[in-house]
Structure 1
Amino acid sequence: MDWPKRASLASCILNTNKVKQIMNPISRTPRAVTRPRRGFTLVELLVAVALVLLLMTLFAQIFATATGALSTQRGLAENDQRARRLQTTLASDLSRMTYRALEGTDGIVPILDDFTSPIAWEPVAGMQNGYFYLAENDPNNDTDDVLQFTMQAYGSQVWADADIPPFVGRALFFPNGDAATELDQPEADDGDLSWNDLAGTLEIDTVNENDRGASQFAEVVYFLRHGNLYRRTLLIRQGFAPPASPGLPELNGGNYGGTNTFWNDFDYSAFFDNDAVTPAMVMLDENALNNQTGTTISLGMPKFRFGFWGDFTNAESGMPREFTDVAETNFIGRFTHEETSNPNFLYPGQDVSGGNPHMDRLTALNYDAARGIVTDGTATVAGTAPWDLANGTRRSEDIVLSNVHSFDVQVYDPAVGDFVNLGHSIPGGDFNRENNRNVGADGAPGEAGTDDDGINGTDDDGERGWPGTDDYGNRYDTWHRDAALIGNQGSPYAFMTAGPDGAPGDPGVDDNQNGIDDDAGELGWTGTDDVALRAIKITIRYLDTTSNQMRDLTIVHSFADRDSN
């Protein structure tokens, strides 16, 4: 072996020995040491944590935004649903008015009273029943309007072999020990009765009575107070009378002991008749919708309605109680369920002489503006304790919409060509203040001998219906022809119905072709100079608390030719 090969072999052996030394764990020769793996520094960890927190914050904000948007949309949908429900209710109530437009007319027209009209204006039976009432009060204020009218509903379900009345309200049951006469009370009016096999008669189930009455007729009133829009409904009695049932006496104060809580126990129209031989509470029935001549109790006469002053011994009987005092300081519209269900309300179970606050329009009421509640007042009888109307047991039952900022009802004025406030100041308008003919019991527009509006002098036409006076006010009322029973006041805009020519319809023409020229049925006839109330526009402005946005609800209702052609 030559020398180069020997050197190469020695080098390989040497290298092999080095490898063995490294691989041999017990070799005393030092091993080659590897560098340890490098980890995250503190700075890197802090940056990573910050990024994770930032991402979590972003995700939380996105989730909160999405959840908030969903809640807002749900709140808007709920508010819109309440508004639609209110719109449906209002439209349904107006479509069921008992006082309707006559065939061929542009709208509804008031019944002219006898003492101002040379013609006998007999109302048309079946069409001009009950009443329609609109109070504008201050034309520049959209929170003091009152809309009130009578309505009739028609059902299709069988109830005691007749149409079922869809108006339902509370009716307290009180037994008198006679199964037959017990049928003549509101609790039996819905026809939900039991059959007594032994006696062979219908009777109220004394164990499971439903404390509910029903009728096809009712009064309804809408008004705004303290941000709440109220809808108060009072049934007009339609007694249940099976074919074999004898004539039975009406429910009255004589057989109902809880007279101080009547509107807690019953949702029925009633008044206190202090002009009767024996003064007592009287419940109104469907006969009170009749406006024909000679009717003694008619809802066409304001003094019989809910919310009107019914002291028949006073010349101003029939004036509405819409403010806390005659000076019209605080608007209350009507008494609420909360107030009338309080035992201290007293009416209709007690007369003015007993100190009830409802009838005595001349006694000022104390009003808690912070809560929107009539709290207490001074009794009309010396020594009688003041009354309190807060916290009645039926609180909030009549609220249909909350957070309402305005409730504005406007009338269509043909001369203006637009919807306007009743009693407006636009010159030439058919429904401006100057054309309001009502001047109250003193015969002067506004307050007698006073320049109420401070414009044209004392007792000018512009003062008709001025607040705080005995004028009927900025109101539209279909009225009753026996105006002498209402303190000799006429319907404010009744004179407009015959137009400038003084004749209903076209003078000397039988417009409705009933064989009589210029009869009452031709009032407001289309194409004539008669002025009818053609339509109203209701605008409700309310706050959507979820989105904090103001929203508007508008309803336009036409009276022309409704259900008459």
Structure 2
Amino acid sequence: MEWPKRASLASCILNTYKVKQIMNPISRTPRAVTQPRRGFTLVELLVAVALVLLLMTLFAQIFATATGALSTQRGIAENDQRARRLQTTLASDLSRMTYRALVGTDGIVPILDDNMSGIAWEPVDGLQEGYFYLAENDPNNDTDDVLQFTMQAHGSQIWADTDIPPFVGRALFIPNGDAATELNQPEADDGNLTWNGGAGTLEIALENENSRGASQFAEVVYFLRHGNLYRRMLLVRQQFAPSSSPDHPDLNSVNYGGTNTFWNDFDYSAFFDNDAVTPAMVMLDQNALNNQTGAAISLGMPKYRFGFWGDFQVAESGMPREFTDVAETNFIGRFTHEETSNPNFLYPGQDVAAGNPHMDRLTALNYDAARGIVTDGTATVAGTAPWDLANGTRRSEDIVLSNVHSFDVQVYDPAVGDFVNLGHSIPGGDFNRANNRNVGADGAPGEAGTDDDGINGVDDDGERGWPGTDDYGNRYDTWHRDATLIGDLGSPYAVMTAGPDLAPGVVNFDDNSDGVDDDAGELGWIGTDDVALRAIKITIRYLDTTSNQMRDLTIVHSFADRDSN
């Protein structure tokens, strides 16, 4: 037997190395590199999309929240701006009242009351001009107050000549081919005229026609109806034309010669005078602010004011048209711009007896509560067509604030030491219901034993309250000096009487010259004889629709004499 040859140690090692090389080729050639996977798996994509959507949703919610907060703040700011604008307007109007305090007194006083008729005292020129009127109506209702007064812009009537702008309103230009008479109409009163060198006169040229009149004087009335607070302003004409021009040639005619809708074309105080030889419409001018005895036409006599009525063929006080009827079924305050610009509203272009809505308060009007509009479904006068006052061309022009829930005007009662409603029931107050000068036996304003409203007999239910009587009921009014021109009625809350000196009393003064200040001979109706309406507080409550919150706006205005103290 032949044994294998014994390998040498070196060969064994070499063979072992060769075997390893064969088994591990990496030592001789590079290892293959695994290729990376391409894209994401479906699960990864779904997770990524979900995260992106979540982030986008969060960003959208944050953006919507921020945008909503910004819109809310902008809405609140806009509402606050409207309220501030209203506050500024109200305060400005009150500061420009033409009827102001008697010199040396704490406030305003009526010119006429039961103890001053027939005495020699006259209102002071430049102080007691025009009127101030406040109607509380129902003291328990803050939606039926009316504030109305005359005011003056103490500057120039010419817009371009003063830093204090005049009152401005619509004035339709009525051409007639005569430069002289064309000049004498409200459209020329703002002084926007052209000089005609050839004729040596001022004229209204085509470039001057701006449908705008201007005056330093105006009537203004605030009232609430259908959630809207209204401010209605009518200019008291201040004529710019030379005095040699004929008076109002195009406007004072048998009927207004325009569209017969005067308060669509003009923002001016006017009335229809059926007592004239030729009944016609009359525009009131600045002379109507005169409250001196013998004044031909004075706004101190209520029947000449906007929103009041009176048969001019007899002496009457003129009651306001604040409700649809004497039973106070619906409060309307005053007719709105929408209503008076409707062609169916013909007053003052036509007589009040011609079937138009500006009638005496005894003629009931219909009211559409859903629209807040005075309307009538039947003819008011036989032979006339039914009328509706909705959708006049000047709709909403007189609205100063919407979504209003209450408009409350209170007077300062010195005996109470606080602001109260006229006709309140707090014992001892100067403006307590019992202190109304005309309270009758039924305990309400009205003359006992008298058929005050002219219907249903003596002291009927329609005469028990405010304003169903002919004595102005629950109101404060400065009146006029001549009692015979306002129905011989005393002002309801006339907190001033004349002492033995037959003149209004002054605090800390010897009015009757007996050597003693404020003695018993000078005392009047409650306290001294110069108790006055010192101040009013106006509170307006409205809904801020952006924040859905109720907001309050309060204005306090003092009537104290600022000219002599």
TM-score computed with the length of structure 2 as normaliser: 0.87
Q: What letter is aligned with 2:73?
A: Q
How far apart are the structure 2 equivalents of 1:502 and 1:465?
33
1:552 and 2:539 matched? no
Q: 1:279 to 1:290 in 2, by over 3 A?
A: same
Runs of 5+ unmatched residues, structure 1 = 26-30, 453-457
Contact 2:117 2:483 in 1 (8 A): no
Shift of 1:7: 3.8
Number of residue pairs aligned between Structure 1 and Structure 2: 543
Structure 2 counterpart of 1:10: 15
How far apart are the structure 2 equivalents of 1:364 and 1:552?
34
Structure 2 counterpart of 1:274: 274
Structure 1 counterpart of 2:417: 417
Q: What letter is aligned with 1:10?
A: N
Secondary structure of the corresponding residue to residue 187 of structure 2: helix
Q: 1:362 to 1:198 in 2, by over 3 A?
A: same
Range that drifts further, 148-157 or 291-300 = 148-157
Q: What letter is aligned with 2:301?
A: M
Q: 1:38 to 1:350 in 2, by over 3 A?
A: closer
Contact 2:341 2:394 in 1 (8 A): yes
Shift of 1:160: 8.8
Structure 1 counterpart of 2:434: 434
How far apart are the structure 1 equivalents of 2:349 and 2:434?
40
Structure 1 counterpart of 2:359: 359
Shift of 1:337: 0.4
Q: Percentage identity across aligned positions? A: 86
How far apart are the structure 2 equivalents of 1:523 and 1:550?
46
Structure 1 counterpart of 2:221: 221
How far apart are the structure 1 equivalents of 2:409 and 2:507?
33
Contact 1:113 1:482 in 2 (8 A): no
How far apart are the structure 2 equivalents of 1:512 and 1:542?
50
Write out aligned runs for 1:374-393 (5 A).
Answer: 374-376=374-376, 378-393=378-393
Contact 2:344 2:389 in 1 (8 A): yes
Q: 1:163 to 1:196 in 2, by over 3 A?
A: farther
Shift of 1:114: 7.2
Deviation track 1:349-377 (CA, whole Å, cap 9, x = no partner) reads: 11122112113322111111011111226
How far apart are the structure 2 equivalents of 1:16 and 1:498?
140
Q: What letter is aligned with 1:210?
A: N
Shift of 1:55: 2.5
Shift of 1:310: 2.7
Deviation track 1:179-219 (CA, whole Å, cap 9, x = no partner) reads: 11211100100010011122121000146511111000000
Structure 1 counterpart of 2:455: none
Contact 1:316 1:470 in 2 (8 A): no
Q: 1:387 to 1:158 in 2, by over 3 A?
A: closer
Structure 2 counterpart of 1:140: 140
How far apart are the structure 2 equivalents of 1:544 and 1:211?
35
Deviation track 1:323-351 (CA, whole Å, cap 9, x = no partner) reads: 11111110110000000001110100111
Structure 2 counterpart of 1:108: 108
Shift of 1:52: 3.0
1:53 and 2:53 matched? yes
Q: What letter is aligned with 2:217?
A: F
Q: What letter is aligned with 2:246?
A: L
Contact 1:540 1:554 in 2 (8 A): yes
How far apart are the structure 1 equivalents of 2:49 and 2:466?
75
Structure 2 counterpart of 1:238: 238
Structure 2 counterpart of 1:561: 561
Structure 2 counterpart of 1:28: none
Range that drifts further, 43-52 or 262-271 = 43-52
Structure 2 counterpart of 1:197: 197
Q: What letter is aligned with 2:229?
A: L
How far apart are the structure 2 equivalents of 1:73 and 1:137?
38
Q: 1:184 to 1:36 in 2, by over 3 A?
A: closer
How far apart are the structure 2 equivalents of 1:252 and 1:160?
29
Secondary structure of the corresponding residue to residue 353 of structure 1: coil
1:338 and 2:343 matched? no
Deviation track 1:531-558 (CA, whole Å, cap 9, x = no partner) reads: 1111100111111111111111110011
How far apart are the structure 2 equivalents of 1:275 and 1:300?
18
Structure 1 counterpart of 2:176: 176
Shift of 1:508: 10
How far apart are the structure 2 equivalents of 1:182 and 1:267?
18
Range that drifts further, 81-90 or 15-24 = 15-24
Q: What letter is aligned with 2:79?
A: N
Q: What letter is aligned with 2:277?
A: V
How far apart are the structure 2 equivalents of 1:380 and 1:277?
27
Q: 1:5 to 1:334 in 2, by over 3 A?
A: farther
How far apart are the structure 1 equivalents of 2:258 and 2:188?
18
Q: 1:39 to 1:214 in 2, by over 3 A?
A: closer
Structure 2 counterpart of 1:369: 369
How far apart are the structure 2 equivalents of 1:16 and 1:553?
102
Deviation track 1:281-303 (CA, whole Å, cap 9, x = no partner) reads: 00000000000001121000000
Structure 2 counterpart of 1:455: none
Q: 1:225 to 1:38 in 2, by over 3 A?
A: same
Q: 1:4 to 1:481 in 2, by over 3 A?
A: farther
Structure 1 counterpart of 2:531: 531
Structure 1 counterpart of 2:406: 406
Q: 1:20 to 1:403 in 2, by over 3 A?
A: same
Runs of 5+ unmatched residues, structure 2 = 1-5, 453-457
Q: What letter is aligned with 2:179?
A: A
Contact 2:253 2:280 in 1 (8 A): yes
How far apart are the structure 2 equivalents of 1:331 and 1:500?
43
Compute the RMSD of aligned alpha carbons.
Answer: 3.6
How far apart are the structure 2 equivalents of 1:313 and 1:439?
28
1:324 and 2:324 matched? yes
Shift of 1:449: 5.7
Structure 2 counterpart of 1:490: 490
Q: What letter is aligned with 1:13?
A: K
Q: What letter is aligned with 1:336?
A: T
Q: 1:237 to 1:510 in 2, by over 3 A?
A: farther
